Amino acid sequence: GTSTKRFFDLMDTYPDSKFSALVDNTDTFEALSTFAKSKALKISLWMDINCGMNRTGIIPDESAVALYQKMDADPNIEILGLHAYDGHIHHKDVVERKKACDNAFANVIDLKKNLVSKGLKVNGIVAGGSPTFPFHAKRESVEASPGTTLLWDAGYAASFPEMEFLPAAVLLTRIVSKPNENTVCLDLGHKHMASEMPFPRVQFLNMNDCIQKGQSEEHFVLGCENVTHLKVGAVCYALPVHICPTVAKYEALQVVSEGQVIESWKVAARNQQISI
């Protein structure tokens, strides 16, 4: 579709950058190959492997071998290697997580061995996400692919304390109402924080004696034993349980050092617009 053309337009527009794409089926591969041939270009592709996530990727069996062989035989294709995302692995126990990671990755290794035995070259493997990158980082010729490590959140901090990352993104919110003696409301609605996670959706730094009960567009409702000590207008600091969809809700991040805003980082994922 239009995304195929856009992939090539990106390469034309930014010739000093290297672009690559994931392929997990013959139709996508052939569409890219046909377009590359028409433009007399050689493009870089990874074969995406389903190692248990069951979201994207080809099963690492003979169908994967057949697709890889087609890609290898195509003069307009440079195969960069295999891509395997194991986002389904998030065991809290590090031993169990490593075992699950190794078991899932074993299928990728077996596929690589099968490909090499047939005379095919596998230049590299990109594998894993944040929960499993410590294991993949120790593998030879494997590039780990963590993302949440850049802005660690309360969810991963609680689940994977052995990684010792510090949460870097904090939401500033205020108490806007106390509708009754056991309820406070903050201005931390869906428009300000991702809502796909179950409660609790944040970890408060200065108000942990309340239960998170409800969230709507503009509001976040907490149930508390007693709210007399909580003042309307008071500032609360909250660590998101899931930072990834939350950060895209803001134009920029304010960088704070020693209590002072020293810089502002523009959020590239905000205001998405297709210009190519």
Co-location of 86 and 178 in the same domain: no
Q: How high is the pLDDT of residue 247?
A: 93
Same-domain check for residues 63 and 108: yes
Whether residues 18 and 138 fall in one domain: yes
Cα separation, 121 vs 112, whole angstroms: 9
- Claim to verify: residue 65 and residue 120 sit in the same structural domain: yes
- For tokens 């205001």, name the residue: 271
Residue 56 sits in a domain of what CATH number? Answer: 3.20.20.10
102 and 222, same domain (yes or no): no
pLDDT score of 119 = 98
Classify residue 155: in a domain, yes or no: no
| Residue 21 is assigned to a structural domain of this protein | yes
Our count of domains for the chain comes to 2
Q: What pLDDT does residue 168 have?
A: 87
Q: What is the mean pLDDT of each run of 10 residues along the chain (276 residues)?
A: 93 97 98 97 98 98 98 98 98 98 98 98 97 97 94 95 93 97 97 94 92 97 94 97 94 94 93 83
Return the pLDDT at 130. 97
pLDDT the model gives residue 276: 86
pTM (two decimals)? 0.91
Q: What is the CATH number of the domain that holds 254?
A: 2.40.37.20
Give the model's pLDDT for residue 53: 96
| Residue 176 shares a structural domain with residue 131 | no
* 100 and 192 co-located in one domain: no
Q: What pLDDT score was predicted for residue 104?
A: 98
Q: Of 269, 14, 25, which is closest to residue 6 (Cα–Cα)?
A: 14
Look at residue 250 in the predicted model and tell me its pLDDT. 95
Task: Give pLDDT, residue 269.
Answer: 85
Same domain, 6 and 90: yes
Range of the domain at 10: 2-146
What is the pLDDT at residue 271?
Answer: 84
